[in-house]
Amino acid sequence: MVSDAENIEILETDRFDCLVINVIQTMAYQGVTIEEPYSKGRVYFGKVPADIPVEVGDVLFIGAKPLGEEKDQGSMEVYLYDDEDNKLDWTLIY
C-alpha cells in the first residue's frame, strides 16, 4: 500500500527560500549547507552536482514531504531546488 506522504507533490508555492552558508567542492558533487532565515534551521545536502554553480550567499529553495502518518512531526524528505525549479538534491531529516 502506498502512503499518502509518497503521493504528495511539493508545489513551488510550498517552498522556503534559504541562504547558502557553506559549499564544499568535490570532484563529482558539492556539499551545500543552507539556512532558513527565520528559524535559523540548517540542512546539509551532500550530492549537489558539481557542474551547477552554487556559492555562499546564493538563495536556494527547500520543500519538505512528511514520511508517516503524523504530518507535523517525525521524519521528512527535504528537497533542494534552484530558482529555475530544478531539483538539485534531497536528504532525510529524522
Rounded to the nearest integer, the mean pLDDT of the chain is 86
Q: Total domain count for the chain? A: 1
Contact 8, 44 (CB under 8 A): no
Rounded Cα distance between 93 and 42, Å, is 11
C-alpha cell at 88: 538539485
| pLDDT of 65 | 84
Q: Which residue has the cell 533542494?
A: 80
| pLDDT of 1 | 33
- Per residue in 50-74, pLDDT (tens digit) is 999 999 999 999 998 888 766 556 7
DSSP code for 28: S
pLDDT band at 37 (very low <50, low <70, confident <90, very high): very high
Q: Average pLDDT of 4-12?
A: 57
Q: Which residue has the cell 557553506?
A: 22
Rounded Cα distance between 93 and 79, Å, is 11
Task: Identify the weakest region by mean pLDDT among 20-29, 65-74, 75-84.
Answer: 65-74
The residue range of the domain holding 74 is: 4-93
pTM of the predicted model, to two decimals? 0.82
Task: Identify the weakest region by mean pLDDT among 1-5, 8-12, 37-41, 75-79.
Answer: 1-5
